[in-house]
A and B are shown apart, each in its own frame.
Chain A
Amino acid sequence: MTRNVTAELLVLRKRAATWILLGIWTFLGIFFAYVIPYALDPEDAPGGLEQFFPESLAGTLISGFPFFGGVFALMLGVFALGSEYGWDTLKTLFTQRPGRLRVLAAKLIALGIVLVPFVVALFATGAIASYVIAQIEDAPVSWPSAWLLVRAIAAGWLILAVWAALGVLLGVLTRGTSLAIGVGILYALVIEGLLSAFVDSVSVLEPLTNVFLRANGYSIATALGASTQDIESSGPGSFSGPFVDSVQALAVLVAFIAGFVALSGFVLRRRDVA
């Protein structure tokens, strides 16, 4: 399996789209978490000026993962499998030795590995941004605990992983990239976004929205210090609750990953490569 994974890492590592997505994600993540709100009116930010200081690093950054980061991970997941249909490389891979499920497993592991720099790059750049702001404000530099950072990075990875797994599934189902990305973004914006917005007035939707990726992702984010006010005002990715218990959120996200992976494997194994 190690050689299968190194093969897939080579495929992802040498693909320009991977690095372009990483660059845009890191740049925009910092731009929306630090640059814009600090430049506009830092005192009026939901978490006050402290939101931009190193101590709030975990909470400030993790709130960008459940929607904004999710879309990037979705694209990465779609590219990992959907492109194989476009290039017809799936037949080349499936006629090598390992078998379809092993190829899928290698792709998923490689994708999981590639998500690590996505999380770490944002946290590293965020740390620099928060330090610079603290220096500008002449505020004392106090970093969050290592345990909180580890949990935040792990949570960020998990949130991205569930969206990437959804991307893989959509890539397999639609046998391509364009429709898969379209459907994925439609789901994130319209299905989850609109239904979550109506949950206050239509209470019957609550059980449904409780299992949304958005609800569970933000629930984990709030448990790590993200401001609920910040999440409520984050544009198309906003969420105003209800939030669920963080352990329950963790379980739901893991279950989603397992479900998406199992369904992708089932379809990939059953379907003809014509």
Chain B
Amino acid sequence: MSNTPPHSTDRERAARDAPHGFATESSNLVIETSALTKRYGDAIVAVDDLELRVRRGEVYGFLGPNGAGKTTTLRMLLGLVRPTSGHAAVLGAPTGSPQELARIGSLVEAPAFYPYLSGRDNLRVLARHAGVADDRVEAVLAEVGLSARAPDRSRTYSLGMKQRLGVAAALLKDPELLILDEPTNGLDPAGMAEMRDFIRSLGKGGRTVVLSSHLMGEVEQVTDRVGVIRDGSLVAEGTVEELRGRAGLRVRAEPLPEAARLIRALPDVDEVTSVDGLLDVTVDTSRAPTINRLLVEGGIAVSALYAQKASLEDVFLELTKRGEEPS
């Protein structure tokens, strides 16, 4: 886990060469922000000095609790919202520029369509604005499995179908970068699984995907790297494995205080904490037999001893929990 990703030499060189100080599109970075900030009035800071870097070809999970600034960040990257200060470049172009938008597909928050137009006509409207041939509409409808309902008005679509239409719209331009904000909203479990596979396949095709989601399982299964945002700032970034940290051991034993004392005495144990009548031991899991022998020889009754790794959800909750409110 790291707060800022390592900067490659290539990237630094590219950034030096770029007139705005950012990496050019030839660099490995697809999204790069510097001190990106959005304030609403004096009181609300939606995004605070955000430093975000997304590499070419990766599926990047963008996590954060409600109100953390995820959607505002994504809207800034798409040029929908103007930053108060700081800079952002996407695919080497300023945000909101036609050069940028031509290469990005996006689905931000709920998909929005003309309710009286059919799914097909909605996509035709977008295709014409995007400068994409009308033929592409049928291809993306087929890709998301909506061909059969394409002639129906979009107001008759279920939430899941609207979500699929939103993804179809995002794919119209055959984009290099896909920004998907909660793409599984409204999908049933089968639809969610399908969407996960779909996102994974998009990532494998060399596309860069930024996936914002609340569903840890979804992120865990699909993403290459994850960034966690809290109160508008990136608080952690890394692969899921890095974020989850190394595994430890969990011990159920009696008496617990004596077991904790014995384990703490071992030289390679980093930390022992007591949680709900169990001990969480931060140690290499290969040390399990040693700890078991130590406890048994010390007269401790060991009823359970197993390897335990924090879930992404645990890590997320830990990273995003707020400080104690002042009394």
A residues with CB within 8 A of B: 3-4, 6-8, 10-11, 14-16, 87-89, 91-99, 103, 106, 270, 272-274
Contact = CB atoms under 8 A, between A and B. Distances in A.
B131 A6 contact: no
Nearest to A14: B117
Of all A-B residue pairs in the complex, the 8 with the closest CB atoms, nearest first, are A7-B128, A88-B112, A96-B129, A96-B130, A273-B80, A3-B128, A272-B81, A97-B130
A213 B263 CA distance: 87
A14 B173 CA distance: 24
A6 B134 CA distance: 12
Given A7-B124, A97-B131, A89 B81 contact: no
A97 B115 CA distance: 22
A139 B79 CA distance: 65
Contacts of A274: 72, 75, 80-81
Most A Cβ at <10 Å: residue of B80, B82, B97, B127:
B80
B134 to A, nearest CB: 9
Interface string B118-158: 00010011111111000000000000000000000000000
B115 A87 contact: yes
B112 A91 contact: yes
Contacts of A95: 78-80, 101, 104, 106, 108
A14 B75 contact: no
Nearest to A270: B82
A89 B72 CA distance: 17
Contacts of A96: 101, 126, 129-130, 173
B113 A11 contact: no
A94 B106 CA distance: 11
B151 to A, nearest CB: 12
25 contacts: A3-B131, A7-B128, A10-B125, A10-B128, A11-B114, A14-B116, A15-B114, A16-B116, A87-B114, A89-B114, A91-B108, A91-B112, A92-B112, A92-B113, A92-B169, A94-B80, A95-B80, A96-B101, A97-B131, A97-B173, A99-B98, A272-B75, A272-B81, A272-B82, A274-B81
